[in-house]
Amino acid sequence: MTKTRAKIGFSDELDVLSSIGSADAVGADLKKQTEAARGAAAQSGFIREGHQQKPLRRRRTGRNAQFNIKAKPETIEAYCRIADEHGWGLGETLEYAVELLEKQER
Amino acid sequence: MPVISFANPKGGAGKSTSALILATQLAERGGTVEVIDADPEQWIRQWAALGPEPIGLSVTSCTSSEQIVEAIAEAAQRAKFVIVDLEGTASLLVAQAVGMSDLVLIPLQASTMDAKGAAKTLKLIRNQSVMLRRPIQHSVVFTRTNAAILTRSMKNVRQQLSEASVDVLETAIVERAAFRDLFDFGGGLSDLDPDLVSNLEKAKENARQFAGEVVRSLRNMEELA
């Protein structure tokens, strides 16, 4: 083998070591700590988002049960049209429909 | 008390395995150890779910870069040793944890890919040290090495590390079935059945030496401080 192996880059930026000051207590100031880490992360290419915890949903409707039904296409079309005209969701429309029917029955 | 992080943005370098070996060894010797599993894969949490953890060892989870600093600070109040197993990504979470560490161990298999991940971690440590105005102690740990042969690529990585004056732990984690089996059976090495796991005694000796060397490094740091 005549080829030499490529440099891995362990000594990159070794020059910055000379500017290290005396040791401070770990985590003495967590806020400062966090900011320093942000700066160093950006400089060193540690910029991946990593694992993100799922953000909380802003709108909770409480409509969380599945309700599958079969209907005629024209009924579905009419149902969706009514919902769209009012700017309602399909679950919301169902609640209004049930409310109306209950009123009628009384 | 001392916070030891295992970091290498390259996946499969041996972070979780070496973190677990160290944690179980320290706990078996009577230390209180808290492992913070900061890897979204949650390998150490999964290990803990398998069965009784050694007495004195507890595992918590934190995979948020917003919360990791506080999680480490709190754990350091509770346990004698805090061990952080980091994700194999160059993320802000890793940077935050490194900044909170007394000792960063950089596991790597003797391959250029692992070594490049290690080089990236070394760069991060250096930048962090400058920003925080304190040195962050760190060492490279060779993992999954062959007990019998020193490969050419291992020689190459070792030589380049030595040229760059990077500290390398004398003890390498040898490729042993017992270390893999920990993740199948739960518990520590002493809970494994010697009839079912080959070379268990050698694995135990390797683990003892590794943990011993880490403790010596920590002790030296304390003396210097």
pLDDT of residue B57: 94
Instruction: Show residues of chain B in contact with A46, CB under 8 Å.
Output: 9, 90-92, 94-95, 120, 124
Cβ atoms of B54 and B81 closer than 8 Å: no
Position A4 scores a pLDDT of: 74
Q: B218, B221, B216, B206: which is closest to B14 by C-alpha?
A: B206
Question: Which among B165, B12, B161, B126 has a CA at the least distance from the CA of A8?
Answer: B161
pLDDT surpasses 60 at B159 = yes
Residues of B within 8 A of A48 (CB-CB) are 89-92
Q: What's the pLDDT at A57?
A: 61
Query: What contacts A56, CB < 8 A, 6 or more positions away?
Result: none
Percent of chain B whose pLDDT exceeds 70? 100
Residues of chain A with pLDDT under 70: 1-2, 9-28, 50-59
Q: For B125, phi and psi rounded to 5 degrees?
A: -60, -45
**A87 interfaces chain B, CB cutoff of 8 Å:** no
Give pLDDT tens digits for A46-74: 887 765 556 666 667 888 889 999 999 99
Residue A2: the pLDDT is 62
Q: Could you identify the residue written with the tokens 């993100």?
A: A52
Q: For chain B, say whether A11 makes contact (Cβ under 8 Å).
A: yes
Provide the chain B residues 97-116 that lie in CB contact (below 8 A) with chain A.
Answer: 98-102, 112, 115-116
Check if B151 contacts A (Cβ < 8 Å): no
Instruction: Give the start-end residues of each E strand in chain B.
Output: 3-6, 33-38, 57-61, 81-86, 103-108, 137-142
What pLDDT digit, counting tens, does each position of B190-216 carry?
A: 999 998 888 999 999 999 999 999 999
Candidates B118, B126, B160; nearest CB to A16:
B126
CB < 8 Å to B116, chain A: 8-9
Q: Measuring CA to CA, which residue among B153, B136, B126, B132 is closest to residue B84?
A: B136
Confidence category of residue B152, pLDDT binned at 50, 70, 90? confident
Angle at B86 between CA B77 and CA A15, to 5 degrees: 95
Q: Residue A47's pLDDT is what?
A: 81
The residue behind tokens 């008390």 is B1
What pLDDT is stored for residue B125 in this prediction? 93
Q: Say what the pLDDT of residue A56 is.
A: 61
Instruction: Give this complex's ipTM.
Output: 0.75
Output B51 or B58, whichever has higher pLDDT: B58
Mean pLDDT to the nearest integer, B43-66: 91
